[in-house]
Copies of this chain bind each other. A is one copy, B any other.
Amino acid sequence: MIIDIHGHYTTAPPALEAWRMRQIAAFDAGAPAPLASELQISDDELRDSIASNQLGKMRERGIDLTVFSPRASFMAHHIGDFATSAAWAALNNALCHRVSQLFPDHFIGAAMLPQSPGVDPASCIPELERCVKEYGFVAINLNPDPSGGHWTSPPLTDRHWYPIYEKMVEYDIPAMIHVSTSCNACFHTTGAHYINADTTAFMQLLSGDLFRDFPTLKFVIPHGGGAAPYHWGRYRGLAQEMKKPLLQDHLLNNVFFDTCVYHQPGIDLLTRVIPVDNVLFASEMIGAVRGIDPETGHHYDDTRRYIDAAHLTPEQRHQIYEGNARRVYPRLDAALSSRGLT
């Protein structure tokens, strides 16, 4: 089967965004926030929003299952305070859960966390627990910069983040390191902030020794690892100057890259440079880049075509499409196994 580990609910019914606008307006005005119950979206509306969009494209492209999380750019953890993020995360996670119940063969959830700048990440644990225990989610998205482009939180290797890591280890769930909208005019959200965050997170992990403290912790760095694979020689050299072990030993038991790289040469580099065990299929469809590439006649984000065309053996392709995802996301594997999919 083909598992896409990186899909966001970017086509949610417009009532969701309308609720968010009311929430932000209320926060700005110091007025009471809208109630969660004021957001009413029917199962039919959810079905429609998925069937004609995400699921339609999955079927066209032969993708069986997507690890599905709330829209990344809408997390906007920098808006409001913890209560704002808590209400917003709860609504979004609940919607992804409902989608996974409506289409259980095709979607399984990953949680957005109610992060807020300057707030202890331990505050995210109740939502994380609900998503794992009640919703059966198999991963979380962790925003290394809840300030939205001002980078005011400590690096990911800091003990600041340990409460989250302890829960990840306890539940055996990986985190995708994924920022949200940039509110810094220097950083275009999907063209700079996302890619920079991937690169930044990778370098934070390289500089530290986090996996000594958490040997089973697993991170997925999206968007093909930002700049890291392209500059792999630089990173090998920097690790060497810092007297770190080889990257293979220092990071690659714990750090994985997705395939959200939207052209053949990029995927060719990724699969040439990064061990196949560390590459997980993903498209981030329907996401930042929705057009058709005039050079190929296919959608830029139809990453399956690039993987199919890359110099890989059938066994390697199977690892990228399914095997690695089931290893890195043990709860996904358990869910599939419980359905007889081994």
Contact = CB atoms under 8 A, between A and B. Distances in A.
What range describes how many residues of A lie at the interface? 35 or more
A145 to B, nearest CB: 7
Interface string A170-202: 000000000000001111101110011001100
A261 interface: yes
Contacts of A273: 263, 265-266
A290 interface: yes
A266 B269 contact: yes
A270 to B, nearest CB: 8
Contacts of A233: 261-264, 266, 289, 293, 300
A200 B192 CA distance: 5
A293 B188 contact: no
Contacts of A203: 187-188, 191-192
A154 interface: yes
A39 B223 CA distance: 48
A101 interface: no
Interface stretch (A29-37, A82-90, A91-99, A237-245): A237-245
Interface in A201-241: 203-204, 206-207, 223-224, 226-227, 229-238, 240-241
A291 interface: yes
- Quickly give the copy total for this chain: 2
B186 A237 contact: no
A151 B184 contact: yes
A141 to B, nearest CB: 18
A262 B151 contact: no
Interface in A299-316: 300-301
Given A149-B151, A186-B155, A195 B231 contact: yes
A200 B196 contact: yes
A236 B300 CA distance: 9
A186 B153 contact: yes
Contacts of A206: 188, 191
Nearest to A267: B233
27 contacts: A145-B186, A149-B151, A151-B186, A155-B186, A186-B200, A187-B200, A188-B204, A188-B238, A190-B238, A191-B203, A192-B196, A195-B227, A195-B231, A195-B234, A196-B200, A196-B227, A223-B234, A224-B230, A230-B266, A233-B289, A233-B293, A234-B289, A236-B300, A237-B262, A237-B300, A237-B301, A241-B289
User: Considering the complex of A and B, which 10 residue pairs feature the smallest CB-CB distances, nearest first?
Assistant: A233-B263, A233-B262, A237-B289, A227-B227, A230-B230, A191-B203, A237-B300, A196-B196, A192-B203, A151-B186
